[in-house]
Amino acid sequence: MHLCNVQARRCLLGLILAVVGVASVHLAAAPAVQPKRATFEITNAFTIKVPEGAKRVRVWFATPQRDAESEIRAFNVESPYPVRYGTDSYGNQVGYLEVNAPQEKQINFRETFTLTRTEIRQAVEPAATRPLTDQERVDFEHYLKPSTYVIINDEIKALANQIVGGEQNPAVAARKIYDWTLHNIDYWVKDPERLKASPVGSTEYCLRTKTGNCTDFHSLFASLTQAVGIPTRMVYGSLLKPTLNGLDVDASYHCWIQFYAPNLNWVTLDVSVADIYMGDFPLTEKNQKLVELTTAVGYRGGDPAMVDYYFGNLDERRVVWSIGRDLRLDPPQEDGPVNALHKLYVEVDGKQSTEWTRHFTYREITATN
């Protein structure tokens, strides 16, 4: 009798598992994916042109930011003038030097360091978060404010509400905005003869032209998320592309973005690079090199898995220079807020100067899983 009961229970259990087999697989713990890591030796060489008759030249320059994914070693600045470090209005460390009555026509200095960067892997599960409380929105007020080029007006509010449709879960709402952006905006490198980027990273430009670069994409994303009460912040850095590894070619900058969701903390995404993988488009002599340089792993056609990857995950080939827009520097600058600090900011006799260059190069040392 006991054996019959055991067999009956096994049959019943087998029937239950057969009926809910999909659910049982879903509940099984998925194997953890080991984040990738890579190490780079990085050099930033700066040259500032000194106008004739200048009385005072002030220079603020981006330094590599330390965070949970970024280990910085052997940081050094070679400069003919004293350098000190301060913290800007977003908490970024910023280098600063000042030259009074400069005699030289140029100011040259450089920073070097070694970076070990870890891939960000985060499953953005809606069930793991919840709507923000009124108090949380007060606490994160700094990340809900518009800036000079990240606007929140009636048009943006109406569009954001139309996209989100009343959704209060920040993970779901942010994914809706992410998907809408991918379906409505095209990265300019896909067709550089027809599509152009703005020089400043602008919500208005991106929405009006339906194109732009990384800063245009993420300015629009920030406006839409902030308009529905999701704290958002821009991250400025550089993408360490394999094709430029070890070359004496300036690697410029790149930006991505983070939104805040309770329990998930800051969630990272890169909607601009994700857009490269939104379906197929023809590679031509005009766009092939640009498309290659826009990605960390290369482009071989549309890839839905990469689109999903860049919502919550971020490849290890990144260096972070600063977070935020409309920065107030330390010591304070004189000529208004700084749009972003991903290279350097210069004032000559109290007025912003753009007569400078930064040459950013790197060499990869290791790549490990």
Are 191 and 289 members of one domain? yes
Are 261 and 332 members of one domain? no
| Extended strands (E) in the chain | 37-49, 56-62, 70-78, 84-87, 93-100, 106-118, 186-187, 211-212, 232-239, 254-261, 265-269, 318-323, 344-348, 351-353, 356-368
Is 3 inside a domain boundary? no
Nearest-10 crossing angle of helices 214-227, 170-184:
140
Is 11 inside a domain boundary? no
Is 12 inside a domain boundary? no
Query: For position 11, what pLDDT does the model report?
Result: 41
Distance CA 164, CA 77 (A): 47
Is 14 inside a domain boundary? no
Residue 255 structural domain: 126-315
Nearest-10 crossing angle of helices 170-184, 154-164:
110
Query: For position 16, what pLDDT does the model report?
Result: 34
Are 176 and 291 members of one domain? yes
Are 204 and 292 members of one domain? yes
- In contact, 319 and 115? CB cutoff 8 Å: yes
Are 149 and 295 members of one domain? yes
Number of folded domains that form the chain:
2
Query: For position 333, what pLDDT does the model report?
Result: 98
Is 10 inside a domain boundary? no
Are 363 and 295 members of one domain? no
Distance CA 278, CA 274 (A): 7
Q: Low-confidence residues of the chain, pLDDT below 70?
A: 1-32, 367-369
CATH number of the domain within which 67 lies: 2.60.40.2250
DSSP letter at 200 equals S
Are 175 and 107 members of one domain? no
Is 13 inside a domain boundary? no
Is 181 inside a domain boundary? yes
